[in-house]
Each structure stands twice: as C-alpha cells, then as structure tokens.
C-alpha cells in the first residue's frame, strides 16, 4: 500500500500550529494524531491519522510518552491488553512506545485501571532493560 506522505505533511503543519490547551494525565487513553510513519512504525488511520494511545508518563503540559494501541489481539511479549475503568479493553503495543507533543492529543476516550497501569509500567521497564 502506498502511503500518502503529502496529505500527512499538510495535516502535520496544521497540528503544529495548534495551541496547546489540553489537560491530560497518566493512565488516560487518547485519540492521538500519529500521522504516517516510516517502515514498520505504527501509523495513524483515516483522514485525521488517528490512533488510540495510553499516556504512560506526563513530563509537563507539552510532552508525554505514550504507548499506541491496536485493534488486533496479539500474544507475544511486545503486546499487552489493559482494561479501562469502563471495562473496555485496549491492546497496547509496547515496542512502539513514543514521545509526543501534547499537540498530538485529539480527544480523551478512556482511562485504564490503576493495577493495569502498574503492570504496563513494569513490562515497559523490563522491555527497555532487555529482561522481558
């Protein structure tokens, strides 16, 4: 499939101009403007290039680390399903962890349970250490 980098570039310019007024917290799930990326990097979908992601670490009002989610359920060490406080399931893709500007946050869609957040942090730590 051919990727439309020109369309994404236009959307990226619009996103860059946005004022940063989103209030967000760790554990929240947001639709994020991921865009079109290179190779096997995870892309956003549809016209707005969106994909849900879990906010793992908030550094300040402008920057966070997120873990994208996928609709596909995969059973390997780089995928982990978490439950929302509303009982919705989010399939996180640990290997696609990403630092983002909060300008990429589009709309909050949920919050994951505290105990799942702690397990997610533990799995991310082990993945980075190479002990997962």
Residues forming a β-bridge with 53: 30, 68
- What is the model's pLDDT at position 17? 85
Range scoring the smallest mean pLDDT among 33-37, 85-89, 93-97, 127-131: 33-37
Contact in structure between 51 and 79 (CB atoms under 8 Å): no
* CATH architecture assignment, domain 5-129: Roll (2.30)
- What is the model's pLDDT at position 78? 94
Q: How many CA atoms lie within 13 A of 46 on its CB side?
A: 7
> Hunting for tokens 């550094």 — which residue is that?
59
- What is the model's pLDDT at position 1? 67
Q: Has residue 60 got a pLDDT over 80?
A: yes
Q: How confident is the model at residue 106 (pLDDT cuts 50, 70, 90)?
A: very high
Query: What are the strands, taking DSSP E only, across the chain?
Result: 28-33, 50-60, 63-70, 79-83, 89-93, 98-101, 105-111
- What is the model's pLDDT at position 8? 82
Q: How confident is the model at residue 48 (pLDDT cuts 50, 70, 90)?
A: confident
Cβ-count burial 80-106 (b if 16+ within 10 Å, e if not): bebebeeeeebbbbbebbbebebbbbb
**Domain boundaries, given as residue ranges, for the chain:** 5-129
Q: Has residue 125 got a pLDDT over 90?
A: yes
CA distances from 3 to 36, 46, 80 (A): 7, 12, 28
């Amino acid at each position: 499939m051919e990727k439309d980098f020109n369309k994404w570039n236009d959307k990226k310019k619009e996103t860059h101009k946005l004022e940063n007024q989103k209030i967000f917290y760790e554990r929240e799930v947001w639709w994020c403007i991921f865009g079109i990326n290179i190779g096997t990097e995870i892309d956003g979908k549809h016209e707005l290039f969106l994909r849900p992601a879990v906010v793992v670490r908030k550094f300040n009002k402008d920057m966070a680390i997120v873990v994208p989610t996928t609709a596909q359920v995969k059973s390997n060490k780089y995928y982990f399903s978490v439950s929302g406080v509303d009982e919705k399931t989010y399939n996180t893709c640990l290997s696609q962890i990403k630092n983002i500007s909060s300008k990429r946050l589009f709309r909050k869609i949920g919050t994951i349970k505290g105990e799942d957040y702690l397990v997610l942090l533990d799995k991310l730590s082990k993945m980075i250490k190479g002990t997962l």
